[in-house]
Amino acid sequence: MPPDDPPWRDLRQLLALADLPNVSVKLSGAPTLSDTPYPYPDIRPHLEQVLDAFGTDRCMWGTDQHRVSGRIHGFDPVPRYPGHHSYAQALHYLLDRDELTETEKTALFGGTLRNIMSWTPTPAPPPTPHPTN
């Protein structure tokens, strides 16, 4: 589906949901709403509004990479989405932002999702010793 025109026309409706403590936001596919190339500076003001309203403890990163590349499992290939971007670009437009602290990045890139899903990290098993000859 093409983006709304203008792409952020319903942003106020999303921001209004920030008052509900059980609502979180997945920031996937945001680069598809950009009119400028990577690192998509024109979407930053909109994302800042979302991050300010919800906080990084209620926002999480995602790529939507299958959709933007036209590869959706179980469906015939579709043409690339007009806002096509690489996985690396979808990752680094947020990961490389100096405005975000390491704690905020940790939340966006897995911490929030773990909290929402009540997933606790499992410690890695101890290494298995190799038999000696």
Structure tokens at 124: 């890695």
64 or 7, which is more confident: 7
Q: What is the pLDDT of residue 104?
A: 96
11-116 fold = TIM Barrel (3.20.20)
Q: Long-range contacts of range 74-83, CB-CB < 8 Å, 24 or more positions apart? A: 81/32, 82/2, 82/32, 83/3, 83/29, 83/31, 83/32, 83/33, 83/34
* Cα gap 85→32, rounded to integer Å: 8
Structure confidence at residue 82 as a pLDDT band (50, 70, 90): low
Q: Summarize pLDDT for 53-66 with one digit per residue, the tens.
A: 999 999 999 877 66
Question: What's the pLDDT at 21?
Answer: 95
Query: The pTM is what?
Result: 0.78
